[in-house]
Amino acid sequence: MNEWWPYFVEFVTSDRVLSLIRAIFLVVLGLVVAKLTSIMLTRFTNKHLDTHQSMLIRRGSYYLLLGIFVVSAMKELGFNLSVLLGAAGILTVAIGFASQTSASNLISGLFLVVERPFTIGDVVRVGSTVGEILSIDLLSIKLRTFDNLYVRIPNESIIKSELTNLTRFPIRRIDLQLGVSYKETLSVVREILFDVADKNPLCLEEPKSLFIFKGFGESSLDIQFSIWVKRENFLELRNSISEEIKTAFDSNNIEIPFPHRTLYTGSATEAFPINIQDSQSAQSSK
């Protein structure tokens, strides 16, 4: 042991090993400082900013501080930072030409941060995709659809297409498209519909329900009945109100017609009678 111990001490105390130990210490210290700073910023920004902005500030501060400590560690190991910066600049230009789509998504992500059309937890519709926002990153957003699918949408696609935020406001309107027979009286139908809405506890009294006569259809009098509801009760009311309207129409003998055709020979003549016979009756008549 006495033979190799001096060599071990000399190796440990050499400048190269000491530089390596200091570099490792700087990296570990950088991880700790970046993590603590990120936690402190999260607590502060959550009170004043939304989830999206808080996440961006937290990540940006984390990687910035960690990068400073990593650069210091590399300098401690003897790396020439001017050469590294030059190589990094050339690499950045090359990556920029090779990843124009990513750069476009990054810039679009910055526009979304400024515009703030949605936050995490909102339900949005982008094209034919409807889902809840799980995360908002600089390159894309992640959605979870109602059938539990994971969807990633690039930020560039969001900027270029129409986006609908279904949960931005606390209340929503349900537009029911209805049709009743021509023999029905619209004032009676209107009274029945408003009575159904008044009895449903999920329908809001303000704004008031809306009855709109849309026109004379081919087989029905076309009506739009609009009711307001809190956004968290939207699906429940949409299902329940349809069943209640059907029940009320049946109770009051209000006919909901299906498409049909009637043949006339003139404006003052009766409709052609149509008799349906089975095959045996047709053969016996012959």
Distance CA 31, CA 70 (A): 9
Displacement of CA 44 from its chain's centroid (Å): 26
Query: Would you say 138 and 56 are in contact if contact means Cβ atoms under 8 Å apart?
Result: yes
Distance CA 115, CA 83 (A): 39
Distance CA 243, CA 250 (A): 11
Task: Provide the token pair at 66.
Answer: 């960690």
Strand stretches in 181-271, DSSP E:
210-216, 221-230
Task: Provide the token pair at 38.
Answer: 């990120």
Query: Would you say 65 and 30 are in contact if contact means Cβ atoms under 8 Å apart?
Result: yes
Measured at the CA of 103, the angle between CA 97 and CA 105, to 5 degrees, comes to 145
Q: What is the pLDDT of residue 275?
A: 64
Distance CA 127, CA 149 (A): 16
- Amino acid occupying residue 59: R
How would you write the pLDDT of the chain (286 residues) with one tens digit per residue?
Answer: 555 555 445 554 556 667 777 778 888 888 888 888 888 877 777 666 666 667 767 777 777 788 787 877 777 777 666 656 665 666 565 555 545 566 677 777 777 877 888 888 899 999 889 999 998 887 888 999 999 999 999 988 888 888 999 988 999 999 999 999 999 999 999 999 999 999 999 999 989 999 999 999 888 999 999 999 999 999 899 989 999 999 999 999 999 887 766 666 666 556 556 666 665 555 555 5
Query: What SS3 state is found at 175?
Result: strand
Query: Would you say 157 and 105 are in contact if contact means Cβ atoms under 8 Å apart?
Result: no
Q: What is the pLDDT of residue 127?
A: 86
Query: Would you say 165 and 130 are in contact if contact means Cβ atoms under 8 Å apart?
Result: no
Q: What is the pLDDT of residue 41?
A: 76
Displacement of CA 133 from its chain's centroid (Å): 5
Identify any residues that bridge with 150 across adjacent strands, giving them in sequence order. 144
What is the model's pTM? 0.59
Distances (CA, A) of 277 to 96, 168, 264, 280, 281: 78, 60, 22, 8, 6
